[in-house]
Structure 1
């Protein structure tokens, strides 16, 4: 009797395959986590022993080099036993002296994360906070480095809010922990003259970076999200849904300092979102007003009697250009030297343009391209300005500037004055002829 082979597209076989694959994935993940945990505990114990022996025996740093050589000789297939890594183990044990903390939190993180924590942070409380956050939110090493560089520890939960009064516990505490002040948008390249729309567009173009800065749990719903109230249209700058808080989050962007009326408008938006978008199982919607700056007393007064949960925070744009771009920019001395020549080039272009416009108004014949020929044509048409001869004399310096040749400061200054006068005369002539 031949035992039949189940069809690969049968429902029973497919469900079995899916179940076994999930078990294998889970087991492999658990094994990986267990291996990492044991490795971190091993590194911590090695570092603790080195630290204790150096303290008790008075050994210097050279003992680490000797230990590394002997250990690598006896365990040639094991990586991570270099002198540098042994020094990291010693610093690791010194940074996290309590074994229960290592077992509960730090051992859950990869070794590269722990090296970053030891290298970048000196304050024990701050170091432990980042370790807990990295473990809780599953940060990669790059994300951990980003949050350390942006001083998240000093910003997290620091926004001015009315959550304690408008939200029930423990949601109020959780909501407070999630908002920052200031928010760092160093991924944007916007100048001080930006508009609110440009700020919004920049954030949307860098949505992944924005979500990273807002924090885990924010799901993007839309920008300029339309709501209708009383027959009138309103648009929310940014709308999110927070998966942990189970509520909508309205973000309003302001390119100016906080004003009390911003809170009133946000209160209105939150009432509309609660009425039109909020599901009966959702928590009350939350508003975040991001401003260029704020006066804390004004914010406190504005939020005091607000009935809807909201917070006010500042945002920071990058204060400096990236190093590669800075290297490409001219120095102050170079700019000071080149600016007069740039002005001459610009003036020459404007003069040529004005001559062509003037000639277009008074002749249908084919116009010459060279500026010298155009000046001759102007004289033939009787349209030459009074400063024509002076301009011809200054033209040599202007041509040098156009071709990138050096021009003496005095010559550049004289040519600029003459060309400016000549351009004004051309415009006067064209204006008079047109009228």
Structure 2
């Protein structure tokens, strides 16, 4: 009904207005605390004393928003975003709490740009931070390239600039200890398609599931087909719930060739194939594919959020690979 739509829009606008004023209020409180603290910077421990005294004065009547922990957040909020006019109107306080918890400036700028560009909710932002999206992209790119794509200063020219390895699929609800078939993983992806599109990268849209391919009497079925508007190409995903084998790469290459020859338009870029697998041997992938390969990508999936230790181990592997390449030269 039209009335229902009017009421719903008015409520949404009211919520956004309240969120905007709340963010600005916290920023102003943080500014006052910081500037007063700076005035008393010659006195040891003055900042701690100031925050405690403000909390004791206001928390009894105004509640937990004036706890010591929250007041420290407000101060950090102002220090991290010192220009009020630069605050994003579409971000609520939960967005900013996630952002100010990130110490690394490049990392924070990346998540800020991605949140604004993709209109992430606070929950989606938190999930991307917890799944260490920034670090996973850095495994195959440099900081400036990742930031440039996030800020839309450059369009991605290589699939590896937006496709992650590993992909974290904890939202599918599949237990990593359980035995399941490829069709189970595929069905879970379709059920949670919105979350999967968020995970696989920017610019993806769903095209087909179990796409039938006829080749002179033989039938084949491609697991998932997507299109990426940034790369301007089809993206085929084949699912393997076991360790990747070299013949799996050959199968995907056939599907990529088919799309390039029969589905791709002249203005579109070559089709990209992604092998989403439970495990892989990078050396086998490398030797199976041509040296100049840019169209076939093998990406492991994880059914749980990676720990910091796992990520450090992966980064060390990448560093060792780079060192090995340098030594070969």
TM (norm. structure 2) is: 0.70
1:115 to 86, 97, 101: 97
Is 1:61 the counterpart of 2:43 in the alignment? no
1:242 match: 228
Point out the structure with the larger strand share: 2
Q: Is 1:297 aligned to 2:283, yes or no?
A: yes
1:184 aligns with 2:165: no
Q: How far apart are residue 141 of structure 1 and its match?
A: 0.7
Match of 2:128 in 1: 147
Specify the SS of the correspondent of 1:256. strand
User: Any idea what the Cα deviations from partners look like across 1:192-251, whole Å, max 9, x if unmatched?
Assistant: 532222222222233233223223422111211112233422211111112333321101
Aligned to 1:223: 209
Pairwise CA distance, 1:62: 3.1
Aligned length: 287
Residue matched to 2:75 = 90
What secondary structure is seen at the aligned counterpart in 2 of 1:304?
coil
1:135 paired to 2:116? yes
1:253-298 deviations in whole A, cap 9, x for unaligned? 1122223333322222112112322233333221111111122222
Higher RCO structure (Cα 8 Å, ≥6 apart): 2
Residues 70-96 of structure 1 show CA distances to partners (whole Å, capped at 9, x for unaligned) of 7899xx99x9666543221112244x2
Q: How does 1:146-165 map to 2 (within 5 A)?
A: 146-156=127-137, 158=139
Which of the two has higher C-alpha Rg? 1
Distance 1:230 1:28, change over 3 A: farther
**Alignment partner of 2:300: what SS?**
strand
The 2-side partners of 1:55 and 1:201 are apart by: 59
Q: Secondary structure at the match of 1:282?
A: coil
Distance 1:125 1:54, change over 3 A: farther
Shift of 1:36: 7.7
Identify if the C-alpha distance between structure 1 residues 151 and 170 changes in structure 2 by more than 3 Å, giving closer, same or farther: closer
Distance 1:29-1:62 versus aligned 2 partners, 3 A rule: closer
Distance 2:65 2:123 in 1: 21
Aligned pairs (5 A) from 1:100-111? 104=86, 109-111=91-93
Deviations along 1:163-216, one digit per CA (max 9) or x if unpaired, are xxxxxx95424x322111111121323645322222222222332332232234
Shift of 1:50: 4.6
Q: 1:348-402 CA deviation, whole Å, 9 max, x = no partner? A: xxxxxxxxxxxxxxxxxxxxxxxxxxxxxxxxxxxxxxxxxxxxxxxxxxxxxxx
Residues 117 and 131, structure 1, Cα contact 8 Å, conserved in 2: yes
Equivalence map 1:35-434=2 (5 Å)? 42=28, 45-46=31-32, 48-53=34-39, 55-58=41-44, 59-67=46-54, 83-94=68-79, 96=80, 99=82, 104=86, 109-119=91-101, 121-156=102-137, 158=139, 170-173=155-158, 175-186=159-170, 187-189=173-175, 191-305=177-291, 309-318=295-304
- Relative to structure 1, the CA distance from residue 299 to residue 47 in structure 2 (aligned partners, 3 Å threshold; closer, same or farther) is farther
TM-score normalized by the length of structure 1: 0.54
Quote the Cα distance in structure 1 between the aligned partners of 2:243 and 2:134.
24
